[in-house]
Structure 1
């Protein structure tokens, strides 16, 4: 294992990506998304990828850039959100989408990172999440071409639980406020959403960091994700670190 995990550019850090690869991507809406790595992934020209993320960015931002270029073949997410192109591709049968409860998605990523193949949860019991029938892919005429299969349901102590599978991916792309050369990461405020979980699930995890520090600069209790989960670290320029879009602006 490399001790110094720093890669000077996002393009170099994405070495080894290929058509059909799967990616766990951190962030929630536009909060904490790895903008620089997403753009670098777009620049590789990779196609037919699978994405696991809370949502798929917005029109023209985040993962929405890859989606608009028809580079994404399958998405596992909690919601479609404010992305009209995401909804259009899904309903037109151009994209396969597995919708899963948000808490279940978070735990599926964590479980995959911990080597847990599956777990039981009450979320979704008595709904199509457990019973099957959710549209994974539509036909061009709007009918359901592929539906989700039913999942195993068991009773524990008088309550019913559905079996959910852990998730692992070929790569994970995340953004951190601070990181050291060993890959230890600190996330700022709301960016500590799906980033640690996505990082755990990737076989090769690439982190873009707003501030690179030397080993030992981060206190043990300050670290949100230990470097054992991170293989490559990309330090951002001040301009890249400051480039953060606001999804919804509210003024008084």
Structure 2
């Protein structure tokens, strides 16, 4: 095995300190780096800034860090399944920047590609571009910090808003298979935000269910090359959780 392979999740995240920024892969509870998140929760790091599609649910995923008041700021596109998130946001304990889901994905990808900003039509003519979205509330319910207006430019007769890319101190991702050089294969929907988050992190930490030797993976099957991955933890197969289960009455 190579120097990229760490013996435990705790060892892999040991240098994530207070004030660090984290790009976290996964969608809902699908493909989330739960072992890495739990290891951070077991440490002392606080005042974290998180970039992720959502912030988990109460007591699962990033919700673990949230309930322990470890997160200072979140940039996300969907936060509707976490009551504690809503409570902290509305009480002024948590700063939140909501961004369209596709824009968030491109902000992460652009950050990893070294592109500082890009123009997109998504959000033009809304508070996303015009400003005024409440990032942080005051304890009395007033808006303490609001989003600023963004640059609008016209191309071929259509307006676009300038969005800045995202880079983070660390990326936390989950993969189905990884080799000891960091080449990763993601399972189905887990391939949405995980590769993008991995690219955006200056140091990428991947938890993998299956760890194989270099050369085992078919190069054509690799979803993310090892150049983007700095640390690997073999966690084995994880329990899969569902955010919300809706069951229809059985019809005989």
Which position in structure 2 is the counterpart of 1:125? 124
Which position in structure 2 is the counterpart of 1:193? 192
Return the alpha-carbon distance in structure 2 between the equivalents of residues 110 and 41 of structure 1: 24
Aligned length: 248
Q: Taking structure 1 as the reference length, what is the TM-score of the superposition?
A: 0.96
Return the alpha-carbon distance in structure 2 between the equivalents of residues 97 and 251 of structure 1: 32
Deviations 1:144-176 (A, max 9, x none): 010000000000000000000010000000000
Of 235, 240, 247, the match for 1:244: 240
Give structure 1 stretches of 5+ with no counterpart: none
Return the alpha-carbon distance in structure 1 between the equivalents of residues 131 and 119 of structure 2: 16
2:46 counterpart SS class = coil
Return the alpha-carbon distance in structure 2 between the equivalents of residues 121 and 151 of structure 1: 12
Return the alpha-carbon distance in structure 2 between the equivalents of residues 37 and 3 of structure 1: 20
1:221 counterpart SS class = helix
Return the alpha-carbon distance in structure 2 between the equivalents of residues 21 and 9 of structure 1: 20
Check the 8 A contact 2:26/2:33 in 1, yes or no.
yes
Please report the RMSD computed on the Cα atoms of aligned residues, expressed in angstroms: 1.1
Return the alpha-carbon distance in structure 2 between the equivalents of residues 48 and 152 of structure 1: 30
2:6 counterpart SS class = coil
Return the alpha-carbon distance in structure 2 between the equivalents of residues 209 and 108 of structure 1: 25
Check the 8 A contact 2:17/2:44 in 1, yes or no.
no
Which position in structure 2 is the counterpart of 1:114? 113
Which position in structure 1 is the counterpart of 2:48? 49
Q: How far 1:3 moved relative to its partner?
A: 5.0
Q: How far 1:48 moved relative to its partner?
A: 0.3
1:244 counterpart SS class = coil
Deviating above 6 A after TM superposition, structure 1's stretches of 4 or more consecutive aligned residues are: none
Q: Please tell me whether residue 204 in structure 1 is matched to residue 203 in structure 2.
A: yes
Q: Taking structure 2 as the reference length, what is the TM-score of the superposition?
A: 0.96
Which position in structure 2 is the counterpart of 1:27? 26
Q: Please tell me whether residue 66 in structure 1 is matched to residue 54 in structure 2.
A: no
Q: How far 1:76 moved relative to its partner?
A: 0.3
Check the 8 A contact 2:178/2:208 in 1, yes or no.
yes
Q: How far 1:20 moved relative to its partner?
A: 0.3
